[in-house]
Structure 1
């Protein structure tokens, strides 16, 4: 019998699936399914945790024990959540709701909630949130942890979970100074301490620093810290409607000069929605030369931005379509799940992708054919994991099975993730939803 994880516990050994695999393992699996961008059916062999063979399927069915017949459904690389705040997840309404819907009231609400944080509280909510993500096909997560806290309780707890869950998920933890590096007491010392504790990525929030000069200084510091400690960089950059907020050019230039652009990410950059085209023409030249990555959070940004507008009202997303057309790497993220900044969210990146394509007006056939790139391959480049990510012989056997035939089909139906395999082991499985047609429609 193949032991699989269903819901919260493994049906075979009853272990919580976020903590360990069922001890029953198979050395080889064969899956018959479609691959993205290819019309035929393929047989995918998995041995010792890696894809050992990918070949055209001729007879169209499985017969050997231990094989899985996907019945022509789509095999896809695992989904990636490249920007989320696990320490704040599931705190919407605690201690009060963000009634204005602005970024800044959200930060105020979080500052009040942050005073009550403890390890058990963060673990409980983070595990519930990770369970949502795993059930939606996510196997890689980059989470920000607020280090505007002398005890660094959020960062310590999330680093602990990262290490505990390494066989289930690959988690990167960002040292994120929510209230600024230079505008918060001992902010820089806390960033350095966060790196010692184990942060994988260093962050900043230059537009929230008290002055332009402090914002620029914070960016120079995170590049220095990343270079000195061999860390990645992910900056909450220009998450504001102000067209004069132009820290992105500073971040890109510093990354270019340090020759580490592919290790640097600019998250949000919503002010770009308010930049004029003449400035963007100049800016894009720098962005391409720098090689930095971008993360857009469509549901969060459409909710938070444009709050000071009457009409016309800005959408407040970065220029995803233009960045992508220019060959600049950009991906989508959910950002928040029921926290002071965004009170909805369910861990389903297909929902985020749907919003993103609508808001960014990326609804052409070419966009649909490669839609899943924005929550898979592009995000892999952003997290720096592309070398062993993807469905190819020799790579780690990490994949998901989607209830559809191609990107367009999956997007249209917001399809279920039916199976999630990590290093050749099933970590999540569900039955496909069956749509029953009412008798009066059958004629």
Structure 2
């Protein structure tokens, strides 16, 4: 397989047309279309395609993916989806979990995603770490096409030992939903302590209920500054920020920015819809994730970064940064870009501009990982006109 490939005639987000030379897994050269080549390389014609830095998925639940049809959802209250899921997992064996997760990863890859962070429930059932163990196997299986990070999400009452064992089984991040514990503050401190002990990052679901009287994200931000915790920390959801007055929101966003934690928004019908503009204005780089893929939380989840970016409501360039550069930063990866030296993780879509791509969500896509084409979708269209 050649280590050098030229992407000819690609449209960049700023409207320029360029030939992009990829060498040894990175962008080597960007040339105007009339530049004379010194030597010929293997090429890919991208005329008519928009070339973008590849997106990442910073927040998805692969253990629940594709379970809507057999599981359904309890519509009663905010936590109906959580209850629906918890009474069903025992019905699924390891083979089913592996099949659904593999299909979800293939869908994400075909849509352009080259890095994924998945949150997996642990502590429930007779095999408390089965999801982590299966996903560790799939991480090895998919390592050539995407980077897969595993977050261990302990159920209420999960012991410290089980959480630490999840790290030994393959998790590289400790997660959690502190609001489901009897004492939210105490649970936040426990998970931070365990992440420090296991020497891994922390990624928590916070403030996704309906009670804005205590903002766990503010408590976490202050705790981080006081503790000197040195590993990456991410806060996801944060729906309660929407209930704050402008002055209170300003104070909280400043506290979050000072703590240097990372934030993931989930701008889907069942996501948090947090005030991304306020956080961005405070200097907090906000990523955006899909959260659910046709499961109890959202039966229409698409696993499509274009749809996630469009749902942010931001200007096209900022929307794409949320699912690309900022999302990769949450995963601790190089931010990527379209300049010499950047990783050659790229997505080409059939569109003339980023605004058009976010509006039309074209299925015609070419996915490039480390300088090699790993997926190509070319939809077939047939239209019959009545005589």
- Mapped partners of 2:72, 2:175: distance in 1: 27
Aligned with 1:338: secondary structure?
coil
Which deviates further from its counterpart, 81-90 or 32-41?
32-41
C-alpha offsets along residues 81-100 of structure 1, whole Å, 9 cap, x if unaligned? 11000001111143443233
Q: 1:173 maps to which residue? A: 150
SS of 2:298's partner is coil
| Corresponding residue of 1:257 | 226
Structure 1's 342 and 72: CA in aligned 2 closer, same or farther, altered over 3 A? closer
| Secondary structure, counterpart of 2:132 in structure 1 | helix
SS for the counterpart of 2:366 is strand
In structure 2, relative to structure 1, the CA distance for the partners of 1:67 and 1:400 (3 Å cut) is: same
Tell me the secondary structure at the aligned position of residue 282 of structure 1.
helix
Moved more, 334-343 or 66-75: 66-75
Match of 1:131 in 2: 106
Q: 1 or 2 for the larger relative contact order (CA 8 Å, sep ≥6)?
A: 2
1:142-161 residue pairs with structure 2 within 5 A? Answer: 142-149=117-124, 151=127, 152-161=129-138
Q: Which runs of 5+ in 2 are unaligned?
A: none
Establish whether residue 430 from structure 1 lines up as the match of residue 386 from structure 2. Answer: no
User: Which residue of the partner structure matches residue 200 of structure 1?
Assistant: 172
Residue 110 of structure 1: aligned partner: 85
Aligned to 1:190: 162
**Are the structure 2 counterparts of residues 95 and 50 from structure 1 closer, same or farther at C-alpha, using a change threshold of 3 Å?**
closer
Among 1, 26, 30, which residue is 1:50 paired with?
26
Secondary structure, aligned partner of 1:241: coil
C-alpha distance in 1 between matches for 2:119 and 2:9: 36
Aligned to 1:318: 274
**Conserved 8 A contact 2:312-2:319:** no
3-state secondary structure, aligned to 1:266: strand
**CA offsets per residue over residues 120-163 of structure 1, 9 Å max, x none?**
11100001111111111111110011012252111111122112
Q: Structure 1: state its 5+ residue gaps.
A: 1-24, 303-315
Deviation at 1:59, TM superposition (A): 5.7
- Determine the C-alpha separation between the residues in 2 that align with 1:432 and 1:54: 29
Q: TM-score, normalised by structure 2?
A: 0.91
Q: Deviations over 1:281-338 (max 9, x none)?
A: 3212211101111111121435xxxxxxxxxxxxx52111211222211121110111
- 1:72–1:340 distance in 2 versus 1, CA, 3 Å: closer
Quote how far apart the aligned CAs of 1:371 are: 2.5
Give the aligned partner of residue 334 of structure 2. 386
8 A Cα contact 1:51 1:393, kept in partner? yes
Distance 1:391 1:229, change over 3 A: farther
SS across alignment from 1:108:
helix
Partner in structure 2 of residue 327 of structure 1: 283
The normalised TM-score by structure 1 is 0.80
Q: CA deviation at 1:426?
A: 1.2
Count of aligned pairs: 384
Matched, 1:84 2:60: yes
1:371 alignment partner in structure 2: 319
Q: Structure 1's 369 and 393: CA in aligned 2 closer, same or farther, altered over 3 A? A: closer
Question: Contact 1:223–1:254 at 8 Å: present in 2 too?
Answer: no
Q: Which residue of 1 aligns with 2:248?
A: 279
Distance 2:248 2:233 in 1: 22
In the other structure, the counterpart of 1:345 is 301
- Alignment equivalent of 1:209, drawn from 178, 181, 201: 181
State the alpha-carbon separation in 1 of the partners of residues 300 and 58 from structure 2: 18
Match of 2:75 in 1: 99
Asked if structure 2 preserves the Cα contact closer than 8 Å seen for 1:292 and 1:329, the reply is: no
C-alpha spacing 1:347/1:82, structure 2 compared with 1 (3 Å): same
- SS for the counterpart of 1:98 is coil
Q: Deviations over 1:375-407 (max 9, x none)?
A: 1011011111026x3333234321111112332
**Does residue 1:162 correspond to 2:139, yes or no?**
yes
Give the deviation of 1:72 after TM superposition: 4.8
Note closer, same or farther for the CA distance 1:103–1:159 as it changes in structure 2 (3 Å cut): farther
Aligned residue number for residue 399 of structure 1: 346
Superposition deviation, residue 251 in structure 1: 1.4
- Please list the CA deviations of residues 232-286 of structure 1 after superposition, one character each: whole Å capped at 9, or x if unmatched: 1110001112212411112112223344577111100101111233322321221
Structure-1 separation of matches of 2:171 and 2:194: 11
Which sits farther off after the overlay, 287-296 or 52-61? 52-61
Question: Alpha-carbon deviation of 1:202?
Answer: 0.7
Offset, 1:421: 1.2
Deviates more, 1:323-332 or 1:222-231: 222-231
